Amino acid sequence: MVYETAKFDEINVLASQADWAWPMALRDIFQPRGVNLLVAQGTNDFVQIIQQKRIHTAIVDIDSEKSSGMATVRIIRMEYPMLPCIMLASCTCESILNKALQLDVFSVIDKPVDLNVLREQLNRLFIKKYNCDVFK
C-alpha cells in the first residue's frame, strides 16, 4: 500500500505519556505508516517538543496525572493555534465537550481508546488538514 507522504519530510505526532500501554499501542498504528511518535512527559515537554520539531497533530490525554490535559491544550492554543489536537477523556460529558469545542479540538475520544476509532479520526484529520491519507 502506498501512502501520500511525499509532501512531508516526516510526519510527527506528539502524544501524552500514560501509565498504561498507550505509547506501544500508538507505535503499532504509526510505525507501519512511517509516522514518528513523540511522547511528552508533561505540559512543559509538550511546549519544548513543539518548539523544536514540526508537529502535525497533538494527542492529549486530559486525565493524565503528569500534566493537566486541558491546560496543556490551552497552552498549545496560545502558541500554536492551528495545531490540530485530539483529546482523550475517560468522561466525555457535556462540560468536557464544550471546553473542547471552545479550544477548537478536532476530536474527543472516549477512554479506553478504541484504536480503530483513533485511526479513523487521525485519517479524517490528516485528509482535512493536510490532504494526506497516511492513516487510511
89 assigned to some structural domain:
yes
- What gap in Å lies between CA 73 and CA 86, rounded to an integer? 9
Residue 116 sits in a domain whose CATH number is 3.40.50.2300
Query: Which pLDDT tens digit goes with each residue over 42-52?
Result: 889 999 999 99
Cell numbers describing residue 71: 491546560
| 5 part of a folded domain | no
Predicted structure pTM score: 0.89
Least confident of 18-22, 26-30, 107-111: 18-22
Domain ranges, residue 82: 11-130
Spatial CA neighbour of 103 closest among 79, 83, 74, 67: 74
Q: How many domains would you assign to the chain?
A: 1
The 10s digit of each residue's pLDDT in 86-119 is 999 998 889 999 999 999 999 999 999 999 999 9
Among residues 84, 113, 103, the alpha carbon closest in space to that of 22 is found at: 113
